[in-house]
Amino acid sequence: METKTDHREVLIPRTSLVQNINVWKIGKSWISKIILILFAFAMLYPLYWLFVSALKTNQEFFENPYSLPIHWVFDNITRAWELAGMGKAMINSTIVTLAAMFLTLLLGTLTAYVLSRFEFRWKGPLMLFFTLGMLIPIHSTLVPLFMIMNKIGILDTYWSLILPYTAFELPIAIFLIAAFMSSIPKAIEEAAMIDGSGYWGIFFRIMLPLSFPVMSTVAILAFLRYWNEFAFALVFINDQALKTLPLVLTIFSDGFGTDYSLTMAAMAIAVLPTIIIYLFFQEQIMKGMVAGSVKE
Amino acid sequence: MGTTARLKGFIILALLPTLLIYTFFVIVPIFWSAYYGFFDWSGMGDAKFTGLANYIEVIKDEIFWRSLKNNFIIIAASVFGQVPIALVLALLLMKNSFVNRFVRSAVFMPMVLSTVVVGLIWGYMYHPQIGVVNYVLKSLGLESLTRAWLSDPKINMFSVSIPIIWNYIGPYLIIFIAALQNIPSEINDAAKLEGAVGFKKLYYVTLPMIWNTVKVVIVLCIAGSLKAFDQVFVMTGGGPAQSTELLATYMYNNTFEVYRYGYGSAISTMIVIVSMILILISQILMKRKNQ
């Protein structure tokens, strides 16, 4: 990913001809730069429009939908928070996301430790078994999972989201963490083994702390996935008091259909945490998502 | 002997919770739906065995085939939209300058947004009265091009494809940039000496060098667009008159709106089969062209 600095350019004699070419080249690169920046703004436009509309009154939204607000109003945000139960939805999303993240990290590191450090007969088939899960289209499990969870009585509880979220994220988590653990030298564990630490001790006191860098990547990816997840929440949660953010947003946009700036404010509340995380951890998110998708 | 037994115990104990959760929530559902596809069940009372009736009904249902066709439109839009855009952008954004980093993160940004929000925002942007799409067309004097983007069955599949393209360019861009940066500088030097510049270089040097990556990206793109559901569900719900139905929305509407769990199970099984066939075909095609 490093840039290769081009040393040859220094060696080119600066004749007038070359300089002419350079002027043309610089001009061209500026034009392409400007086009690229315009393209970037076009990509960001829907998000810009969302935040700008969230801070307008409805009247202004209809009168000049595309300009910056003349009167900035934060009233929509507070109204969305109270009226639509965005506060409650935020709490639900936080509980489900954190619990699933905790389970994913704990089980993911534990499994990755076993797969990356020990040889046993079923290791190969087991890896294949986990790969298989990444090929299964998630939506094809909605109906059977609904029926299964209905049968065992966890439908319409936090668990009906926490457990499937964890299950579907585990393969990616395991592969990312196992790849990282394989690069940790074995000498550290061997020393601990001689000191009389058991396997659990080595896992909790050595491997887990050493894996923090990759765990943070897995945690961020899992956070984004769980926070934004919609299909499972739509099917498995019916209780108004348990609904997560994406679910509440869809109901909200139906119910307050014409109160656009209110709906926009509710959406702004929901996306703000993910955007903040993105601004802080961009590189990690990009690399992690790419590594995760290529593994699939 | 003592240590091997202890190791065995540790391995089993460490793997058990993961295996249980994973098997129960990811693998079992596939078999469950294949099995319940043979039953008629409304969510209450006993399930009635009906043999192949559900599967036959799915195959005979015109809407199922329309949904499948719509899924193919999404796949085609993704492959022919995302891959070229990502490739062109990667060629332009290869160097790690400040501006390039900014453009890259702007292109990647939709990846972290909630798909529901993506669906809702684009739904508003397509809105016939308040939407920005028609507004821009009007202000450009192209009044005749304005339309009801999401309800006109002639174009709405293409309208719903655009947000999906917009949503997922990011990772492909990053993969292409990594591949381009991995081309050894000797090859670029050699190309320069031979006088290969511009499009000539792109066609004879750069593209062949990253061709394997292009193939990987196409396979990823097909697999990824099979998962499309949220945005379309939020924008149109599969309507109007089931014109934007995808396999997943078709499954949802036939199960949870009308309480036909057996039929929904049969559709779910069909989704698994279709996905597996497509993934298999794309893998085989990619491997064959390799030789």
- Of A126, A270, A290, nearest to B175 by CB-CB distance is A290
Phi, psi of B48 (to 5 degrees): -105, 130
- Statement to judge: residues A163 and A208 lie in one domain: yes
- Statement to judge: residues B131 and B244 lie in one domain: yes
Which residues of A fall within a CB distance of 8 Å from B127?
none
Residue A6 pLDDT level (bands cut at 50, 70, 90)? very low
- Statement to judge: residues B105 and B175 lie in one domain: yes
- Residue A56: the pLDDT is 84
- Statement to judge: residues A178 and A204 lie in one domain: yes
Asked if A1's CB is within 8 angstroms of B132's CB, the reply is no
Q: Is A136 on the interface with B (CB under 8 A)?
A: yes
- Statement to judge: residues B209 and B143 lie in one domain: yes
- Whether residue A1 is contained in a domain is answered as no
> Does A252 score more than 50 pLDDT?
yes
Q: Is A275 on the interface with B (CB under 8 A)?
A: yes
What are B180-235's pLDDT values in tens digits? Answer: 998 888 887 888 787 777 777 888 888 888 998 999 899 889 988 888 899 999 99
Average pLDDT over residues A171-195: 89
Cα A225–Cα B122–Cα B249 angle in degrees, nearest 5: 65
With tokens 């085939």, the residue in question is B65
Boundaries of domain holding B20: 1-28
- B72: which DSSP letter? H
- Residue A9: the pLDDT is 46
- Statement to judge: residues B53 and B1 lie in one domain: no
Q: Is A227 on the interface with B (CB under 8 A)?
A: yes
Mutation target for A interface from B19, B22, B265: give the one with most A CBs within 10 A: B22
Please answer whether residues B166 and B147 qualify as being in contact, where contact means their C-beta atoms are separated by less than 8 angstroms: no
Q: State the nearest Cα–Cα gap between B154 and chain A, in angstroms.
A: 25
What are A194-236's pLDDT values in tens digits? Answer: 777 788 999 998 899 999 999 999 999 999 999 999 999 999 9
Helix A245-255 / helix B115-125 crossing angle, nearest 10 deg: 20
Asked if B255's CB is within 8 angstroms of A142's CB, the reply is yes
Region of A153 please: left (phi>0), alpha (psi -120 to 50) or beta. left
Q: State the nearest Cα–Cα gap between B51 and chain A, in angstroms.
A: 18
- Statement to judge: residues A263 and A155 lie in one domain: yes
291 residues of chain B, pLDDT tens digit each? 467 888 889 999 999 999 999 999 999 999 999 999 999 888 777 888 988 999 999 999 999 999 999 999 999 999 999 999 999 999 999 888 899 999 999 999 999 999 999 999 999 889 888 888 888 888 888 888 888 899 888 899 999 999 999 999 999 999 999 999 988 888 878 887 877 777 778 888 888 889 989 998 998 899 888 888 999 999 998 878 889 999 999 999 999 888 899 999 999 999 999 999 998 888 888 776 554
- Statement to judge: residues A85 and A149 lie in one domain: yes
Asked if A174's CB is within 8 angstroms of B174's CB, the reply is no
Angstrom distances, CA of residue B69 to CA of A103, B225, B230: 39, 13, 18
- Residue A2: the pLDDT is 42
Which residues of B fall within a CB distance of 8 Å from A282?
105, 108
Asked if A285's CB is within 8 angstroms of B220's CB, the reply is no
Angstrom distances, CA of residue A130 to CA of A45, A169, A174, A203: 39, 11, 9, 21
Residue A1 pLDDT level (bands cut at 50, 70, 90)? very low
Asked if B216's CB is within 8 angstroms of A294's CB, the reply is yes
Asked if B116's CB is within 8 angstroms of A36's CB, the reply is no
What are A107-155's pLDDT values in tens digits? Answer: 999 999 999 999 988 899 999 999 888 888 899 999 999 999 999 999 9
Within 114-133 of A, beta carbons closer than 8 Å to B belong to 114, 118, 120, 126, 129-130, 132-133
Asked if A286's CB is within 8 angstroms of B122's CB, the reply is no
- Residue A295: the pLDDT is 63
Asked if A198's CB is within 8 angstroms of B22's CB, the reply is no
Mean pLDDT score of chain A, rounded to an integer? Answer: 86
Please answer whether residues B93 and B104 qualify as being in contact, where contact means their C-beta atoms are separated by less than 8 angstroms: yes
Which residue, of A33, A57, A75, is where some domain finishes?
A: A75
Angstrom distances, CA of residue B199 to CA of B88, B91, B203, B204, B207: 12, 11, 6, 8, 10
- Residue A27: the pLDDT is 74
- Statement to judge: residues B19 and B120 lie in one domain: no
> Does A24 score more than 80 pLDDT?
no
Boundaries of domain holding A42: 15-75
- Whether residue A149 is contained in a domain is answered as yes
Average pLDDT over residues A61-90: 79
- Statement to judge: residues A197 and A272 lie in one domain: yes
**Residue B154: which CATH number?**
1.10.3720.10
- Of A43, A249, A285, nearest to B107 by CB-CB distance is A43
Q: State the nearest Cα–Cα gap between A255 and chain B, in angstroms.
A: 13
Residue B278, classed as helix, strand or coil, is helix
Which residue, of A75, A97, A126, is where some domain finishes?
A: A75
Q: State the nearest Cα–Cα gap between A83 and chain B, in angstroms.
A: 19
Asked if A199's CB is within 8 angstroms of B135's CB, the reply is no
- Statement to judge: residues B117 and B235 lie in one domain: yes
- Residue A232: the pLDDT is 96
Asked if B185's CB is within 8 angstroms of A141's CB, the reply is no
> Does A7 score more than 70 pLDDT?
no
What are A267-290's pLDDT values in tens digits? Answer: 998 999 999 999 999 999 999 998
User: Count of residues for chain A?
Assistant: 296
- Residue B232: the pLDDT is 94
| Chain B, nearest residue to A260 by Cα | B124
Average pLDDT over residues A36-46: 92
- Whether residue A179 is contained in a domain is answered as yes
**Residue A250: which CATH number?**
1.10.3720.10
- Statement to judge: residues A105 and A248 lie in one domain: yes
- Statement to judge: residues B2 and B94 lie in one domain: no
- Residue A41: the pLDDT is 93
- Statement to judge: residues B23 and B47 lie in one domain: no
- Residue A4: the pLDDT is 46
| Chain B, nearest residue to A292 by Cα | B171
Residue A253 pLDDT level (bands cut at 50, 70, 90)? confident
- Statement to judge: residues B15 and B132 lie in one domain: no
- Residue A259: the pLDDT is 78
Q: State the nearest Cα–Cα gap between B115 and chain A, in angstroms.
A: 7
Q: State the nearest Cα–Cα gap between B108 and chain A, in angstroms.
A: 8
| Chain B, nearest residue to A223 by Cα | B112
- Statement to judge: residues A132 and A145 lie in one domain: yes
Q: Is A159 on the interface with B (CB under 8 A)?
A: no
- Residue A21: the pLDDT is 63
Helix A159-182 / helix A260-295 crossing angle, nearest 10 deg: 40
- Residue A170: the pLDDT is 96
Helix B156-181 / helix B62-92 crossing angle, nearest 10 deg: 40
Please tell me the total count of domains within chain B.
Answer: 2
Residue A179 pLDDT level (bands cut at 50, 70, 90)? very high
Mutation target for B interface from A51, A97, A140: give the one with most B CBs within 10 A: A140
- Residue A217: the pLDDT is 94
Residue A3 pLDDT level (bands cut at 50, 70, 90)? very low
- Statement to judge: residues A46 and A59 lie in one domain: yes
Which residues of A fall within a CB distance of 8 Å from B25?
141, 145, 163-164, 166-168
- Residue A16: the pLDDT is 54
Which residues of A fall within a CB distance of 8 Å from B32?
144, 147-148
Average pLDDT over residues A85-91: 89
Angstrom distances, CA of residue A57 to CA of A79, A171, A270, B161: 12, 46, 19, 31
Phi, psi of A247 (to 5 degrees): -65, -45
- Statement to judge: residues B109 and B14 lie in one domain: no
Please tell me the total count of domains within chain A.
Answer: 2
Asked if A275's CB is within 8 angstroms of B272's CB, the reply is no
- Of A171, A199, A270, nearest to B114 by CB-CB distance is A270
Asked if B275's CB is within 8 angstroms of A230's CB, the reply is no
- Statement to judge: residues A126 and A218 lie in one domain: yes
- Whether residue A8 is contained in a domain is answered as no
Please answer whether residues A90 and A102 qualify as being in contact, where contact means their C-beta atoms are separated by less than 8 angstroms: no
- Statement to judge: residues A65 and A90 lie in one domain: no
- Statement to judge: residues B107 and B199 lie in one domain: yes
Residue A19 pLDDT level (bands cut at 50, 70, 90)? low
Residue A2, classed as helix, strand or coil, is coil
Asked if A230's CB is within 8 angstroms of B223's CB, the reply is no
Count the alpha carbons within 13 Å of B188 in the hemisphere toward its beta carbon.
Answer: 11
- Of B25, B100, B271, nearest to A163 by CB-CB distance is B25
Residue A20 pLDDT level (bands cut at 50, 70, 90)? low
- Statement to judge: residues B58 and B112 lie in one domain: yes
- Residue B44: the pLDDT is 77
